[in-house]
Amino acid sequence: MIILGIETATAICGAAVVDDITVLAESQVVEPHVHSEQLLSMIDQSLKSTVGSLDSVDAIAISVGPGSFTGLRIGLSVAKGLAFTANKKIIAVPTLFALAWRAVYEGYAEENDYILPMIDARRDEVYTALYRYRSRQLQYCTAPSVKTISHLSNEMGALGRTVVLGDGTQKFLRVLQEDENDKMSQYIIPSEEHRTCSASTVAQVAHAHAEQYTVSEIAVLEPYYIKEFYTTLKQQ
């Protein structure tokens, strides 16, 4: 199954074409506020360099959050537009779940390891969930939520070997380094280029979990924000 993957939940703006789990092409930039300008050209570039056009794609996989409110809306709008135009199905992949699987695909997570993906939620908060890798499956230990870094650090305790990844990792590391109990030894931190969200991972997860995450009604699909979206109005 050939899948077009789209990732816009963080500062990563990316598109990838994946055949089953083989990455045929991937294009991405790491810069906030460029998603609306560059995403479509990245998709076009990835398609033209591999399968030619969207007609040859079986499904569109989109990272649906949590993450940046604006980035998620842009990515989902593009995915919906392409799906309607080309009559393709959408596979909505939870961002933290895809991020956790990247630790497995990149070889950082071993059997029985915990995986702690985290996405920057501004201030001292991150979006996070805890998984455990067992028998080639990810098991939920805690559901996706938003937590302060200090609370998360205290909550983790001494679970054992844990892979930490995502753009909230630096926040977490700063708290660990200040902790007098020295918990650093239990954590595995992938290199920066291997711990970010990626469009290819979204597509790979979509292939493996297509039945679970395929959307039946595209029109009503919304991003998974966790936190409420709000704006601050200027007082008159």
Is the pLDDT at 95 greater than 70? The verdict is yes
Query: Do 125 and 61 reside in the same domain of the chain?
Result: no
Is 153 inside any structural domain?
yes
**2 vs 172: CA distance, rounded Å:** 36
Q: What is the pLDDT of residues 13-28, one digit of tens each?
A: 999 999 998 999 999 9
**Domain co-membership, 177 together with 213:** no
Is there a domain that residue 226 lies in? no
What is the structure's pLDDT at 157? 75
CA angle 36, 40, 46 (to 5 degrees): 140
Same-domain pairing of 78 and 8: yes
In a domain, 118, yes or no: yes
Cβ 3 vs Cβ 18: under 8 Å: yes
Coil, strand, or helix at residue 26? strand
Beta strand pairing status for 59-63 and 2-7?
parallel
β strands within 70-152, DSSP E? 89-93, 114-120, 125-134, 137-148
234 domain-assigned: no
154, 77: one domain: no
Give yes or no: residues 148 and 207 share one domain: no
Asked whether residue 230 is assigned to any structural domain, the reply reads no
pLDDT for residue 233 is more than 50: no
Give a yes or no: residue 55 inside a domain: yes
Number of compact structural domains in the chain: 2
Task: Please list, in sequence order, all residues whose beta carbon lies within 8 angstroms of the beta carbon of residue 136, skipping any fewer than 6 positions away.
Answer: none
In this structure, the answer to whether residues 166 and 77 fall within a common structural domain is no
| Statement to judge: residues 187 and 102 lie in one domain | yes
Residues 42 and 54 in one domain: yes
For the whole prediction, is pTM greater than 0.85?
Answer: yes
3-state percent helix, strand, coil for the chain, nearest multiple of 5: 35, 30, 35
pLDDT tens for each residue of 35-87? 999 999 999 999 999 999 999 999 999 999 999 999 999 999 999 999 999 99
User: Which CATH number goes with the domain that contains 86?
Assistant: 3.30.420.40
Q: Which of 128-142, 157-171, 176-190, 207-221 has the lowest mean pLDDT?
A: 176-190
Q: Are residues 9 and 28 in the same domain?
A: yes
Instruction: Based on the fold, state whether residues 187 and 201 are members of the same structural domain.
Output: no
Domain span holding position 90: 2-94+197-220
Output b/e per residue, 102-128; b: 16+ Cβ within 10 A: bbbbbebbeeebbbbbbbbbeeebbbb
pLDDT at res. 184? 78
Q: Specify whether 42 is located in the same domain as 159.
A: no
On whether residue 154 sits in a domain, the answer given is: yes
Beta strands in the chain (DSSP E): 2-7, 12-19, 22-30, 59-63, 89-93, 114-120, 125-134, 137-148, 162-165, 187-188
Q: Is residue 37 part of a domain?
A: yes
At 181 the pLDDT is 62
Tell me, yes or no, whether 88 and 145 share the same domain: no
Distance CA 73, CA 196 (A): 19
